[in-house]
Amino acid sequence: MKKTEHRVFKMEFASVAVIAFSVFLSLFVNYLSFQNTQTALRIAAQDAAQTAAGVEQRPEEYVQLSDPLLVLVNDRVSLPENWSVTPRMIDDEQVDLRAYQELSEMFAAAAEDDVWFWVVSGYRSVEQQEIVLERAIRENLKNGLSQEEAEADALRTVARPGYSEHHTGLAVDLNDVSDDFEESKAYQWLSDHAAEYGFVQRYQKDKVEITGIDRESWHYRYVGKKHAREMKRLNFCLEEYVEYLKKQGVQ
């Protein structure tokens, strides 16, 4: 190879190397930026959860009833440390074995009335709940809310990790997870028949101050047939019902 050609070759090689390095550096910087964003969102979710806790009631300060179907998990009471779930698949989600049979029977009965249900969300681990909260915060940030506003708004409808009913495996989100579900034939069917299969609408519009969660027409909780019928008769949410039983001496 002639010297001139060799020099040109080295220059071209050097140029390619510089371009390749620049591309690599750009990709690396973008990757770091993505990782930093994910870390920031995770920290934000954790901070939001801690802020929402306020003066946090320790799990040991709350005495659960002996009936596991009445386990109470809300923004003040965390999932009991000894809680275990025996998962069963329904649709593409998992629920606890204790709720599986009646849930399946309820779906079958509704289908006979030309009403169809599917589980959008069932059992969630604490780690999965963190992801759900992060996603809600991220969506709020995209909509122009400040960090503080995004966190506060997310926590109106998403429980902080460790304090979600979905950890129990006894709660399900059904069909369209939107306010429109309340206007559907499916919601009316649930209002009429859910208690017959042991399910109650967990978060109702007139109980927000008690439950700490905005109305969710799609969120149903399994408490067993006896308790569901009684809760419906009394128009009690789970917090009210548990307190009612405790005052009667039930342990």
The answer to whether residues 138 and 41 touch, using CB atoms and an 8 Å cutoff, is yes
Task: Give the Cα separation of 52 and 47 in Å (integer).
Answer: 8
216 flagged as catalytic: yes
- Bridge partners of 201? 220
Q: Point out the catalytic residue in the list 112, 216, 240, 243.
A: 216
**Angle between helix 147-157 and helix 126-142 axes, rounded to 10 deg:** 130
Distance between CA atoms of residues 41 and 38, nearest Å: 5
* Residue 234 structure tokens: 């009394």
**Rounded distance between C-alpha atoms, residue 130 and residue 217, angstroms:** 23
Whether the CB-CB separation of 57 and 66 falls below 8 Å is answered with: no
Question: Which of these, 176, 189, 168, lies nearest to 216 by C-alpha position?
Answer: 176
Active site members:
216
